[in-house]
Structure 1
């Protein structure tokens, strides 16, 4: 039986379970450093896999559509941060200061790759452009996200200055990504043959990073610092950001005269944020005690964007293609 579109998928349920496990059984004492080293290795492996999966022909097939990529980049790295910054007078009193930092961090992140491309395919959008745009967003985020964090967030919340953070992110994320992509001719066929197993390793890696992040924050008193009312408001804030970004993406695509296929790509590449990139970046940019509260908005936003986008993709897919014949209307005598 197919899962209803507005119910969370299995990975979302596992994320929730991981947060609960870290809340009940966080890592203490001498186990913290080994977990940290394992997490660094897992992140390296995760981005190596993402680089190896990236198809070079798909990049060249979509890269020529510069107007679309420019708009997606503007939505991801300009519109989103401006929305988060403009809402500060309203959000900061309603949320805790740390939760608001988490919302701003969410707004600075690059687009997700896998779900954006998958949803574009379901909705019958421009697939080559989606692959190119989402992948390019991930790479640009390695440079742009630390700069935006340094510009928008309080310097005391970060563990280093933006340039140092950019270097650490490049070492931990860009280097394995480049290595994986360079070795794609040799490892690509293996990954394709074992796609299901690789997906399981991919998700397991994210779960371990999330567990490590929340474990450190729980030890530092995460849940005692977040009032239940602020948590409920955070859910509404994430829903508002998602609705505004998807609606604005669709409106801008139509305003600038893009085709329906391009509009779909713009909506799914511009209005989504990457959990895969976000959690590792947060580990580099923020102190361990702040990690849980900083990534909490992203953890809420992630399942929301998947469930709402799945419904939107279904609506797009139901549209009639211009190539499809129009059924004749019976004329009553």
Structure 2
């Protein structure tokens, strides 16, 4: 995933899509996002969703943390950084805060750390399902009409490109679920390729606007420093809250990774729906940096929580 993201960003820097080709590329990106959420619907068994929803002690605090505390942290970074970095870059921190958790990496690192894997799968998946309904309106509400109004047209796009394919995948799970289970590597490649396409199209818009000229050295420092603060708050806060609400160690580990990680798999596709190409790439910079760093630091954290005997 890291290599694909780097490739998508590098390709956008060298060969960005622009002009008349932008509409074609946007259509391809939307189709790729549709496929991504269709596959997600096929892959997540309904009985696991229903079973996981019964773990209220984990799910209620986790949802409050992801869409409450983490969103508030993003809002603080957005407001605090408006005088020090371009408005769209600062807005990216609010967008980062409103996003749901990852699914695959949060589950993988929970497993490595000795967490509750079943609850991790369901919790992260449910966060992403809720993210379809919550992230865009929450972000627009906090950002205000001057930054990103969420009109009926935006709602139609979210429903058409994200929600409908997921529900369609759930409906066809009985017929196609076996094929997905038997071709996991192919499906994973299709997932990651869809995300990379969305990143490429979004970042091409930022390249076309010459984003490196819009962000001065202080802005880059704020981007790095804000991301570092967000990582510390997300991981340390999730661990402390998991203990405060009385979770046992396996569920506390699940809370840590599902609560602290943020999903570029949701962030990149949704940005192509919410923002024009010229803005989407810049708004995505905080989530792209956060996502790459979270994958790097998650491995040693997991190893420390579950050291080899």
Instruction: Return the TM-score normalized by structure 1.
Output: 0.88
CA distance in 2, matches of 1:309, 1:21: 27
Check if 1:128 corresponds to 2:118. Answer: yes
Deviations 1:94-125 (A, max 9, x none): 32221110111010011111111111111121
Q: Is the 8 A contact 2:78 2:92 kept in 1?
A: no
Check if 1:140 corresponds to 2:130. Answer: yes
Q: Show the counterpart of 1:325.
A: none
Q: Is the 8 A contact 1:59 1:128 kept in 2?
A: no
Q: Show the counterpart of 1:273.
A: 262
**Greater C-alpha radius of gyration:** 1
Question: Which residue, out of 22, 35, 39, partners 2:29?
Answer: 39
Measured after TM superposition, the shift of residue 93 of structure 1 is: 2.4
CA distance in 1, matches of 2:77, 2:295: 24
Q: Show the counterpart of 1:291.
A: 280
Measured after TM superposition, the shift of residue 84 of structure 1 is: 2.0
Check if 1:213 corresponds to 2:233. Answer: no
Deviations 1:212-232 (A, max 9, x none): 111122112322211233123
Check if 1:92 corresponds to 2:77. Answer: no
Question: Which residue, out of 195, 208, 217, partners 1:228?
Answer: 217
Q: Show the counterpart of 2:103.
A: 113
Q: Is the 8 A contact 1:108 1:149 kept in 2?
A: yes
Question: CA 1:189–1:294 in structure 2 vs 1: closer, same or farther (change >3 Å)?
Answer: same
SS at match of 1:26: coil
Mean Cα deviation higher: 263-272 or 29-38: 29-38
Q: Where in structure 1 are there 5+ consecutive unaligned residues?
A: 1-10, 321-333
CA distance in 1, matches of 2:159, 2:297: 32
Q: Is the 8 A contact 1:51 1:181 kept in 2?
A: yes
Check if 1:168 corresponds to 2:157. Answer: yes
Deviations 1:42-84 (A, max 9, x none): 1111111111110223223322111210111011100011112
Q: Is the 8 A contact 1:147 1:163 kept in 2?
A: no
Instruction: Return the TM-score normalized by structure 2.
Output: 0.94
Question: Which residue, out of 2, 7, 15, partners 1:12?
Answer: 2
The CA RMSD over aligned residues, in Å, is 1.7
CA distance in 2, matches of 1:90, 1:44: 35
SS at match of 2:284: helix
Question: CA 1:121–1:263 in structure 2 vs 1: closer, same or farther (change >3 Å)?
Answer: same
Check if 1:258 corresponds to 2:247. Answer: yes
Deviations 1:165-186 (A, max 9, x none): 2332121101101111221122
SS at match of 2:83: helix
Q: Is the 8 A contact 1:147 1:162 kept in 2?
A: no
Check if 1:178 corresponds to 2:175. Answer: no
CA distance in 2, matches of 1:63, 1:143: 17
Mean Cα deviation higher: 86-95 or 308-317: 86-95
Check if 1:149 corresponds to 2:139. Answer: yes
CA distance in 2, matches of 1:195, 1:265: 23
Measured after TM superposition, the shift of residue 140 of structure 1 is: 1.0
Deviations 1:10-58 (A, max 9, x none): x213312321221221112221111111111111111111111102232
Q: Where in structure 2 are there 5+ consecutive unaligned residues?
A: none
SS at match of 1:94: coil
- Kindly tell me the number of residue pairs found equivalent between the two proteins: 309
Question: Which residue, out of 47, 59, 62, partners 1:72?
Answer: 62
Question: CA 1:68–1:163 in structure 2 vs 1: closer, same or farther (change >3 Å)?
Answer: farther
CA distance in 2, matches of 1:257, 1:68: 9
Measured after TM superposition, the shift of residue 206 of structure 1 is: 1.0
